[in-house]
Every structure is written in C-alpha cells, then in structure tokens.
Amino acid sequence: MIRHTVVFRLKHRENSAEEVKFLTDAKVLAAISGVEKFEQLRQVSPKNDYRFGFSMEFADEAAYSRYNDHPDHVAFVRDRWIPEVEAFLEIDYEPLT
C-alpha cells in the first residue's frame, strides 16, 4: 500500500470563491481508478503555514503510477495545481513491516 499525501497553500484568499472552486474541482482526483480513501483536509496546526492537505491510498506502486499518468490527474496538475498552488510538500508513504 502507498499513501500519497500533499499539504499546500493556495494563491487565493482564504474562504474565497476561488478557493472553494479549487477544492471542489479537486474531487475529480477521487474518481480516478485505483484511488482509495481520498480525503481533503484542513491544516490546523500553527507549526506551519500550509492550509490544506489531500490524502489518498493506492494498493501498490502500479496503481499509483496509473494515477500519476491518468489524463484527469495530468490535466488537474497542469490546469489547476501549477497556476493556483503557492507552495506544497508531497510525501508518499509505505507501511513499515
């Protein structure tokens, strides 16, 4: 299993219509085959200035690769993520055995 996570800060004003639209439109990622346990999260710790997180799981590396190459993911990154995300940190985990 691979857990794919990303924390990020948008260029949009907090609680703006643009912020809401970005988060709503990002739900297209949950519909990609192989994505499990998709979550959108609001960051609440004062220890960093990221505002949101996405988390999802994949059964294996092959499922994760299919997600990365999927046209809906590629289009979202190109058309929404790159122009609208100010900063982010991506971390992918595998469980320790």
8-30 per-position pLDDT tens digit: 999 999 999 999 999 999 999 99
pLDDT at 97: 82
pTM given for the model: 0.92
Query: Which stretches of the chain drop beneath a pLDDT of 50?
Result: none
By the 8 A CB rule, do 12 and 26 touch?
Answer: no
User: Cβ neighbours of residue 29 under 8 Å, at least 6 residues apart?
Assistant: 35, 38, 54, 56, 72, 73, 76
Query: What distance in Å separates the CA atoms of residue 3 and residue 56, rounded to the nearest whole number?
Result: 6
Structural tokens at position 77 = 């990154």
pLDDT at 61: 95
pLDDT of 66: 97
pLDDT score at 70: 98
80, 25 in Cβ contact below 8 A? yes
| CATH number for the domain formed by residue range(s) 2-93 | 3.30.70.100
